[in-house]
Structure 1
Amino acid sequence: MIEEIRISDLGVITRATLELDPGFTVVTGETGAGKTMVVTALGLLLGNRADAGAVRHGAKHAVAEATLRLPAGSPALSRAEESGALLEEHDGDTELILARILSAEGRSRAAVGGTSAPVGLLSELGTHLVAVHGQSDQLRLRSAVAQRESLDKFGGPELAAALAAYQGTFDTWKAASAELEEITSASRERVREAESLQAALEEIDAVDPRPGEDEDLKAEAQKLSNVEGLRSAAVTAHGALTGDEFSEEPNAVGLVDAAKRALEMVADDDPELRALGTRVNEIGILVADVTMELGSYLAALDGDGPGRLAEVEERRAALNQLIRKYAPTIDEVISWTETARRRHMDLQDDSGRVEALQAQLEGLQDRLAEQSKTLGDMRRAAALRLAARVSDELAALAMPDARFVVEVTDLDEPARHGGDHIAMLLQPHAGSAPRPLGKGASGGELSRVMLAIEVVLAETDPVPTFVFDEVDSGVGGKAAVEIGKRLAMLARHVQVIVVTHLPQVAAYAQRHIRVIKTSDAQAGDGAGFTASDVVRLDDADRVRELARMLAGQEHSDTAQAHAEELLEGARLALSGQAM
């Protein structure tokens, strides 16, 4: 719901704040006071086209802001978060701030959650947040998709289950059809692909690469290419440790052994030297191990001759050939081979797969036709119920001859949403042909049509907030009372904001906001000054405002008595005593 709307320098409104609550809020005021600026501000926040002429004369820019409180899981919150909006949680709900700035030069900027955003994002969020029904702007249920989705939700859980079952079958049928089309329309290409994969697999299998083999051979080749340097280093190290057989030069093994024996002789005389002797003994063991490993290394090195290097390079060349053709490394070549082998098997099985797919499609088409008929029958039944209930509402809204029609016709081809086309139509007068919404009614009539639809759909397909501008245009008396009742009924499920000039409608609101215009013809160097403010009325002020709306005399005792009577009648009606 919308918690607050802030407007500055928009039309005749210099600065105003509308604090809103759940339920039914009415906005009234004298003609020209700026009531419709509330709707204009909301339109800007919902991404409507900006008009520089709406900026207050003399101001640099106009600003419209709204603070909304939305429950967890709202699709609008998810979309806002994706765009980088900053969100704040309060008592389990989340606060979202929308803003639109319109310059006097015609430029427009938008912000969502304190972050700059394209105006298109406001439009996208608006579909989940607010439904506006104005004299020239009926946003909700404009598209065929929205009309179909509303009918499906009205149809209830059984229709939803039938739609889900149909869509599951449709998705499977679509995938099988696409696969069969690919196999049959690209048979030559698939044969060529199979032959190419066969040749590649034979080449790779002939080489039979092992994981990591290219890196292992690279290291071995580097070793064999430097064998003389490696041998020289190993011989030198071995000689330094063991000494030459015919040389009297000192060596590491002999020196360590001499140190060990010297310390062993006095080990019993000094614990410190005994400990050092133990460590020297460990060094002797380590030196002996290294000496032995160097000997083994030299023996193996002598066995690797030029012939082994040639074998390694030949093998590396074979592996590099695969790498150049199929993947950057041998491990990736092996991975590619596994994928290619599976694909080759699929291509080899084309004839059997075609037969299986054709059989599967026959079964799916029969099931799809059956489920489509079931879904269509349920939609037609729901359409009749919806049309009857909306038509009853229209009769109570001073449109007794109007008839609401929900037309369900067959599509030429099945679609994912079913085999039906849904169209909501209005027959405004007896004998006239039903026409699409918006083409057979005036702005005021269309607002009443949308009110009737929203009242019926409120329990199954609501958005958080509904805004009606002059929904009561062209009506009065009992019809106006019925409009007020139905707005109050709608407000049981959602937040409702109504701009009206009828006291009968205003009496049913839970909260009353008045737009007040002030002017001074001499201000501004004789150019004059007009401004509007917004005030929230208490009970006494509300009586005076209704008296003004009834008779133009807000201080008249008779008018005030009539206003109090209206309010009391509305209270009784809402409490069920006069419904």
Structure 2
Amino acid sequence: MRLRGLGVIRDAVLELGPGLTVVTGETGAGKTMVVTGLGLLMGGRADAGAVREGEQGAFVEGQILLDPAGPAAARALEAGAVLDDGDVLIMSRTVSAEGRSRAHLGGRSVPVGVLGELADELVTVHGQNEQIRLRSTARQREALDRFAGDAVAVPLAAYRSAWARLRAVETEIDEITRLSRERAQEAELLRLGLAEIERVDPQPSEDVELRAEAQRLAHAEELRTAATTAHLALAGDPDASSDAADVTALLSEARRALEAVRHHDEDLAGLADRVGELAYLAADIAADCAAYTSAVESDPIRLAAIEERRAVLKSLTRAYGEDIDGVLAWAKTSGARLGELDSDDDRIEGLRLERESLRTTLGRLGGEISHARQVAGARLADLVSAELTELSMPDARLVVEVRQRDDLNGLPVVEPVPRAKGAKAVAAAKAAASAAAAAGTDGPRLLAAGPDGVDEVELLLAPHAGASPRPLGKGASGGELSRVMLGLEVVLGAVDPVPTFVFDEVDAGVGGKAAIGIGRRLARLAATSQVLVVTHLAQVAAFADRHLLVVKSKDGEVTESGVRLLDDEGRVRELARMLGGIEESDSAQAHAEELLTSAKADRALG
């Protein structure tokens, strides 16, 4: 990742890798700018105040290794990005000194929001004042569901399918009942149209055939005269005394002349054959003209009947189609639609029966999901609370609250679930009980429901003994909250890994044993994800796979050479500085070496 013009950083490159990477440095050296830069790269809010004084803008660029088949790669490609080598995505963000911001993804300019969409799949940031991954109860429910595994996933998939069908059924019932008058009017118009078409009884292409026949009858004399004239011109009149030549006679004369000498020249023989063909063709056409003349009759009565029929058909085409074939197609479609409209009553009854069946199914599935969530929630709370003990919060308790709301119009949940607490919930429960009593039954509990079940899930924290559990972020200090989130991520990471975690000052306000516990758990999290930590504690830094040191130059800037990857000797010196502020002290270095050895042994044990 490259940072330029950001805070105290003039130009720096961070070589990040897999496992646990820690970033350390003296106060004010710009460690937190690393997290700020990463936040910009992940679509965070642009702040002109973060631009280095005297610079025209800040620039952040990063290379991210993606799973080519994963959702992040699919979203990047959808936005027009190009992946280098098929799996490397280059992201960049520019913030001007006036606060204007631009984003690029895989060589393409994109809205900043696209970076944020990718961030949801790629990076989870935990800072002192922002815990992004589980910022909403919906995300907390999703995390619990993934932790629960198939116990929730299988019935939840069936529940969502049934829920979608229930919504479709209710929409159809509402449409049919709400538009009943309009549908009745539509049915009546269709009946009138179909009755008219049935009365006329048009045949396929009848209008085309009648138009052709009307043309013949209306011009019978002209057609007969033309055919007779053509016949006489081709074959002559055998009853006439005139010696006027006709086509067939002339062709016969021409053929005889050529036939007499055809044996003298092959070309002339060919011409003789062609004249013979013309003679046969002329005689054939003459015969057809004679037959046509005999067939053509003038029939005013038939013509009047045809015109009357055409007028009737025209009334249909004006109303129902461009031609008779179109009218017949309309009749077919409208007949099916009329059948659908006429079956509204039966359809509504069938839909209502299906709705009740779906509600029963959803109630059963909702209860099953709720039970599985409660079991998983208790297990998650125990595991995280155990982690908090190791993070020097021995009296802290995580509580996973899975609650429901009574709703007289809700789903009938057959699986027993704990009653929600609180004045509103009690009132709703009493109302439900009264309704059940009035109906003479102690039926299943009616609960408010949504596409994800009947539960509201919230993570609560009791930071010390005797404290009431409160929502995360409201019952703990920044340092305590960071440790809680670390404990959560360690537990959730085993079943719901995130590619990259970033922790900024997760060790604030702790030291000694608690710091070692934090380092140990960061290392455990790094076994399945890339973890980047900004820390000021040597006990945490000792667990790193890679150690980056941020050093300001004498003029107060952080240049490219100011971010260094430390070797073993450099790590000892930096840990010694972090322990006692005297990096050359033999005792501090011995303590640092002891920390590194202990952390290495701890990691080897897993």
Aligned pairs for 1:142-541 (under 5 A) are 142-208=135-201, 253-254=248-249, 256-284=251-279, 307=304, 310-311=307-308, 314-315=311-312, 317-323=314-320, 334-411=328-405, 412=407, 413-520=448-555, 533-541=562-570
Q: CA deviation at 1:389?
A: 0.9
Contact kept, 8 Å, 1:224 with 1:309, in 2: the verdict is no
Q: CA deviation at 1:436?
A: 1.4
Q: What residue in structure 2 maps to residue 525 of structure 1?
A: none
Q: CA RMSD in A?
A: 3.3
Q: CA deviation at 1:243?
A: 6.4
Matches of 1:556 and 1:36, distance apart in 2: 27
Matches of 2:205 and 2:13, distance apart in 1: 71
Q: Secondary structure at the match of 2:554?
A: strand
Matches of 2:113 and 2:222, distance apart in 1: 72
Q: What residue in structure 2 maps to residue 526 of structure 1?
A: none
**Alpha-carbon displacement from aligned partner over 1:337-392 (angstroms, at most 9, x marks no partner):** 43432232122223333333333333332222222111111111111111111111
Matches of 2:460 and 2:565, distance apart in 1: 39
Aligned partner (choices 22, 32, 47) of residue 26 of structure 1: 22
Matches of 1:96 and 1:227, distance apart in 2: 82
Matches of 2:580 and 2:77, distance apart in 1: 50
* Gap change, CA 1:389 and 1:303, over 3 Å in 2: farther
* Gap change, CA 1:223 and 1:159, over 3 Å in 2: farther
* Gap change, CA 1:270 and 1:467, over 3 Å in 2: same
Aligned partner (choices 46, 63, 87) of residue 59 of structure 2: 63
Q: CA deviation at 1:103?
A: 0.8
Contact kept, 8 Å, 1:88 with 1:95, in 2: the verdict is yes
Q: CA deviation at 1:300?
A: 7.1
Q: What residue in structure 2 maps to residue 565 of structure 1?
A: 594
Contact kept, 8 Å, 1:204 with 1:322, in 2: the verdict is no
- The structure with the larger Rg is 2
Stretches of structure 1 lacking an aligned partner (at least 5 in a row)? 522-528
Aligned AA (2:519): G
Aligned AA (1:55): V
**Alpha-carbon displacement from aligned partner over 1:230-267 (angstroms, at most 9, x marks no partner):** 88987787776656776767665555555544444444
The structure that is strand-richer by fraction is 1
Q: CA deviation at 1:457?
A: 1.2
Q: CA deviation at 1:170?
A: 2.4
Aligned partner (choices 126, 136, 145) of residue 129 of structure 2: 136
Farther-moved stretch of structure 1 (152-161 vs 185-194): 185-194
Contact kept, 8 Å, 2:12 with 2:558, in 1: the verdict is no
Say how many residue pairs are matched: 560
**Alpha-carbon displacement from aligned partner over 1:293-346 (angstroms, at most 9, x marks no partner):** 6667777776687648735752562243224xxx66766654444343223212
* Gap change, CA 1:304 and 1:505, over 3 Å in 2: farther
Contact kept, 8 Å, 1:267 with 1:274, in 2: the verdict is yes
Contact kept, 8 Å, 2:11 with 2:558, in 1: the verdict is no
Matches of 2:180 and 2:522, distance apart in 1: 63
Contact kept, 8 Å, 2:398 with 2:461, in 1: the verdict is yes
Contact kept, 8 Å, 1:221 with 1:312, in 2: the verdict is no
* Gap change, CA 1:270 and 1:42, over 3 Å in 2: same
* Gap change, CA 1:172 and 1:12, over 3 Å in 2: same
Matches of 1:357 and 1:295, distance apart in 2: 71
Contact kept, 8 Å, 1:64 with 1:101, in 2: the verdict is yes
Q: Secondary structure at the match of 1:425?
A: strand
Aligned AA (1:498): V
* Gap change, CA 1:265 and 1:345, over 3 Å in 2: same
Contact kept, 8 Å, 2:4 with 2:60, in 1: the verdict is yes
Q: Secondary structure at the match of 2:465?
A: coil
Aligned AA (2:24): T
Matches of 1:179 and 1:462, distance apart in 2: 41
Q: What residue in structure 2 maps to residue 109 of structure 1?
A: 102
* Gap change, CA 1:547 and 1:154, over 3 Å in 2: same
The normalised TM-score by structure 1 is 0.86
Q: Secondary structure at the match of 2:66?
A: strand
Q: CA deviation at 1:421?
A: 1.0
Q: Does 1:9 align with 2:44?
A: no
Q: Does 1:80 align with 2:76?
A: yes
* Gap change, CA 1:189 and 1:318, over 3 Å in 2: closer
Q: CA deviation at 1:280?
A: 4.7
**Alpha-carbon displacement from aligned partner over 1:90-128 (angstroms, at most 9, x marks no partner):** 3xx523222211111111112222222222222222111
Matches of 1:169 and 1:67, distance apart in 2: 42
Contact kept, 8 Å, 2:396 with 2:464, in 1: the verdict is yes
Q: What residue in structure 1 maps to residue 418 of structure 2?
A: none
Contact kept, 8 Å, 1:383 with 1:408, in 2: the verdict is yes
**Alpha-carbon displacement from aligned partner over 1:62-116 (angstroms, at most 9, x marks no partner):** 1112222211332222223333x232363xx523222211111111112222222
Q: CA deviation at 1:540?
A: 2.7
Farther-moved stretch of structure 1 (295-304 vs 168-177): 295-304
Q: Secondary structure at the match of 2:468?
A: coil
Stretches of structure 2 lacking an aligned partner (at least 5 in a row)? 408-447
Matches of 2:548 and 2:484, distance apart in 1: 25
Matches of 1:223 and 1:539, distance apart in 2: 107
Q: Does 1:546 align with 2:575?
A: yes
Q: Secondary structure at the match of 1:48?
A: coil
Contact kept, 8 Å, 1:12 with 1:531, in 2: the verdict is no
